[in-house]
Structure formats: structure tokens, C-alpha cells
Amino acid sequence: MFQNICMPAMIYFILAIISIIYSFLNKVSITVTIIHLIFALLWSGFLAWLCSKGFSLLSWFLLLLPFILIILFLFVFVEYLDKLKGSGS
């Protein structure tokens, strides 16, 4: 099964399984855990499907998009705090 899956889908699936195990160990609702597992399977399948259709770059982008957005928002937030600090003096 994992031999035919592309790297972005595999990375996402592994991160999702780690997150699901963490949720389970922290006694998160079993319903939430099952929904998370279903979503992880669907999203991994979607990323693998994109790769199989020749859109592996898009698959990588979708995998990395949350991290890119977090970094972007952090930079914007730091700039905002710097402006607040500068105008408060």
C-alpha cells in the first residue's frame, strides 16, 4: 500500500497518525479521533491522487501550505507588534 503512495501523501499520513495517537493518549473524544482519522485517510488519498495525475508540485504545496501560512502570519504579527511598540514610545 505505501509503496505506491507519493512522498507528500506519506508525510501527511504519518503526521496525521502521530496527531491521532497524541489525541488518543490525551483522552480526546473518540468521535473527534475517528473524524480525524477519516479526514487523514481522505486527504492522504487526495494528495496521492494528485501525484498520480502528475500534480506532485501541487501536492507538495498543499502539504506545506499550513506551515507557510503560519510563518507568514508570524512575520506579520511581529511587524504589527513592532509598529505598536514604536508608536507607544
Domain extents for the chain?
7-88
Strands (E), 1-45: none
Query: CA separation (Å) from 34 to 2, 14, 39, 53?
Result: 21, 16, 9, 29
Q: Quote helix, strand, coil % in the chain, to nearest 5.
A: 85, 0, 15
Q: Nearest-CA neighbor of 37 among 59, 60, 64, 28?
A: 28
pLDDT of 88 > 70? The answer is no
pLDDT at 77: 93
- Band the pLDDT of 71: cuts 50, 70, 90: very high
Q: 15 or 2: which carries more pLDDT confidence?
A: 15
Report if pTM > 0.85. no
